Structure 1
Amino acid sequence: MWGVPTCGGQAKASGAIDLGAYNLDGMIKYVQKAEQLGIEGLLMGVGYHTPDPLAIVGQLLANSKHIKLMVAYRAGAISPTLFTQMINTLSFQGQDRLALNLLAGISPAEQKYYGDFLGHDQRYARLNEFIDVCRQFWANKGPVDYQGEHYQIEQGQLSLAYQGGGHPDLFLSGNSDVSRQTAIDHNCTWLRYSDTAENIAKSAAPALAQGIGVGIRMSVIVRPTRQEALDEIDRMMSGADLEWKGFLDKYVKSCDSVAVKSTFELAEKAKNDWLNDVLWTGAIPFRGGPALALVGSPDEVAEYIMEYKKAGVSTFLFSGWPQLQEMEYFAELVIPKVRQLEQQLALATA
């Protein structure tokens, strides 16, 4: 899977993000190109700096044919009843092509923009209740009664069920133990920011032991040769916007997210911006948690993806700079290599 840029995607990893930029026609073309490239799914992020993904996804579904669209949503802004009704309505535009990336929120300061003053663990407790209510509506077994700390529902009814029955694929984001446990409790794929394959294996083990899928979100920089990939890093980091870096650093200090803080700690501890031969941290101070990048030749990138797969990762959510160009490189150079390695592994273990 890949992310959907709201304005075409930044050309380099070290410049300021154009906050609030929005180009719907460009997003539609991006989704259609991703379909042509064989990308399985796309994520629409959430935050004060982006357009609302729920308001966009219907247009993207209507202008695509088979690609899955994942909507990020932070519980708390609207009731779970209304949210379920909105998702059920959207499901009729895209049949079984919707997925949800559920979050508790990463910044108390940003949450307050929306009138939300709960702390980290309280937000997860609310998210837990939110999913409970949504699942009861999706089960469609009659009126929903719910008495929780954050939500009280009395004889809740929705005439419009999710298209085809069931519910969208559910992903729950976070790097914390409580996020992983919430994913386990609700049978959601646990989606976290990346790390080395060894560390991912350790953190994923409790989820995998319970039969829960594990996904990672990160960036990728691949070129026909390793030197070309390194040259691309030099190009992207030239003329770095230090004022933007200072702005992001201040924002991160306001966060209580384990995912955000742990990724920035990786960057601080990395030796010359590298965790190993293929994991580069240099863009993290400018782009945040998803910017830990898998860098190298097609063989190097594909082989390390297989290391992640051995660690139990089943979902990969990538981004790059510029987004469309990097996605094209990945589809052309890496996906065939990964498929070949998967076939070799299957034959070896048959």
Structure 2
Amino acid sequence: MSNPVRSAHLPSAEVSWFAPICNGDDRFLGKRDPFYKSSFRNASQIARTADELGYRNMLLPSSYQVGQDTLTFAAALAPQLRQMNLLTAIRCGEVHPPMLARALATLDHMLLGKLTVNIISSDLPGTKVESAVRYRKSREVIEILKQCWTKDHLSFRGEFYDLDLPTAPVRPYQQNGGPLLYFGGYSPDGVELCAEHCDVYLMWPETEDKIQAHMQKVGAAAGAKFGRTLDFGLRVHVIVRETEAEALQASRDLMHLIDDESGEELKNRALDAKSYGVSKQAALREQSDKDGFVEDHLWTGIGRARSGCGAAIVGTPDQVYDKLMRYHAMGIRSFILSGYPHLEECELFARYVLPRMKTCSLPEELGRRPAMVPDSPLGGGTRL
């Protein structure tokens, strides 16, 4: 089978960290510590640290019940960053698509082209809609965004939107299509949407053979039906320490206060807690051994208290690095990492593993950054 990875030639990867703007940080899961409460001060400190330490992107998630607003947070953070991109999550249908296109284009200018976008198709707060309907609506949102960013006029008639508008106010800073679109979803409708329209397909942890098989499946769908290739990303936690014993102890310490009741409460906070992808993480945990490991250095115990990504790479610097390089050899070109507490684990990974990795910015590698002249009214230059 042909290689489904668009950037298979790259010796590098986009190594990203995670911003806990959805109240998901703590030293011990199951015991809320006010010190780690999600706030702009706390989360922006993590982002600035990740930028200074050399991470190339940062995922800003979206969750109504427990979250700060993603785009507002990104806009406030934009002037504080030196090199790091922001991967902002947008929930399709939450904002009228032409207005969303304008907001994202404005943010792209504020970030000088360092914007990437994570497409989410889960239910809006207070609603419950069939999965297939949500993905059809997401497809229309994406098609409208792309028209707004690349054409002189928006002309769109679909199931949910009927629009005829000029696009002059919504051109982004990045050329050649606008910001890269990242997407994660395991249902057939979700896979097809990504295959048709998105740039980076994000996965949660699985055993290596299942990750490889799923990449082939998604890549084949993109190639056979749409004549496209994709890049692939992995969202996973990390626990890295100087010795394996210390890493294992850190994983036990993280979970030592959790019980079934508090674990269920934590898992069910998010809007997507009952999604198909979350159920696959639960199934992965059921395959694990008595210590929570489903394969070498992939520990699923963290999923007892999280609704989304439910596994961590646990080990020494060599073990964590080797595991990441195995994923890279499969074709993973984007790693979105996190750990608890987020600031401390961000610093530990940057000390022990990040300097050994060849890192890149995917928008730069894929030619989305424009040439510059230094007189933009938005600051930082104008697109040539």
What are the superposed Cα offsets for residues 298-342 of structure 1, whole Å, 9 maximum, x if unpaired? Answer: 1111111111112221111111011111111111111234449xx
> Is the alpha carbon distance of 1:63 and 1:112 closer, same or farther for their aligned partners in structure 2, counting shifts above 3 Å?
closer
When normalised by structure 1's length, the TM-score is 0.88
Q: Aligned residue pairs: how many?
A: 332
> Residues 1-350 of structure 1: matches in 2 within 5 Å?
1-6=16-21, 9-16=25-32, 21-48=37-64, 49-105=66-122, 108=123, 111-113=124-126, 116-139=127-150, 141-165=151-175, 166-209=177-220, 210=223, 211-248=229-266, 255-272=273-290, 273-339=292-358
Distance in 2 separating the partners of 1:252 and 1:96? 30
Instruction: Check whether the contact 1:208–1:214 (CA below 8 A) recurs between aligned residues.
Output: no
TM-score by length of 2: 0.80
- CA distance 1:256–1:121, change in 2 (3 Å): farther
- Could you say which structure has the higher helix fraction? 1
CA distance in 2 between counterparts of 1:311 and 1:88 reads 33
- Cα 1:164–1:240 shift into 2, 3 Å: closer
- Post-superposition Cα deviations, 1:144-172, rounded to whole Å, max 9, x if no partner, equal 11111121112343424112534112101
Report the Cα distance in structure 2 between the residues aligned to 1:81 and 1:253, rounded to whole angstroms: 25
Tell me if the contact between 2:240 and 2:349 (Cα under 8 Å) persists in the aligned partners.
yes
Secondary structure of residue in 1 paired with 2:294: coil
Amino acid corresponding to residue 130 of structure 2 in structure 1: G
Q: Provide, for residues 36-67 of structure 1, a one-character-per-residue CA deviation record: whole Å limited to 9, x for no partner.
A: 21111111110111011011111111111211
Q: Distance in 2 between matches of 1:233 and 1:249?
A: 18
Give me the whole-angstrom Cα distance separating, in 2, the residues matched to 1:194 and 1:334: 19
CA distance in 1, matches of 2:254, 2:50: 23
Please tell me the residue identity of whatever aligns with 1:123: R
Moved more, 170-179 or 296-305: 170-179
Identical-pair percentage: 26
Residues 47 and 284 of structure 1: is their aligned pair in 2 closer, same or farther, counting only changes over 3 Å? same
Question: Structure 2 CA distance, aligned partners of 1:133 and 1:253?
Answer: 25
SS of the counterpart of 1:159? helix
Following superposition, the deviation at residue 187 of structure 1 comes to: 3.8
CA distance in 2, matches of 1:303, 1:219: 15
The answer to whether the 8 Å contact 2:101/2:170 transfers is: no
Q: Distance in 2 between matches of 1:276 and 1:24?
A: 37
Q: 1:203 to 1:102 in 2, by over 3 A?
A: same
Preserved CA contact (<8 Å) 1:219 1:293: yes
Judge which range, 186-195 or 153-162, deviates more.
Answer: 153-162
Query: Are 1:8 and 1:323, in contact at CA under 8 Å, matched by a contact in 2?
Result: no
> Which residue identity lines up with residue 148 of structure 1 in the other structure?
G
Unaligned runs of 5+ residues in structure 1 are 341-350
> 1 CA distance for matches of 2:349 and 2:137?
38
- Taking a change above 3 Å as real, the CA distance of residues 119 and 256 of structure 1, as seen in their structure-2 partners, is farther
CA distance in 2 between partners of 1:22 and 1:239 (Å): 20
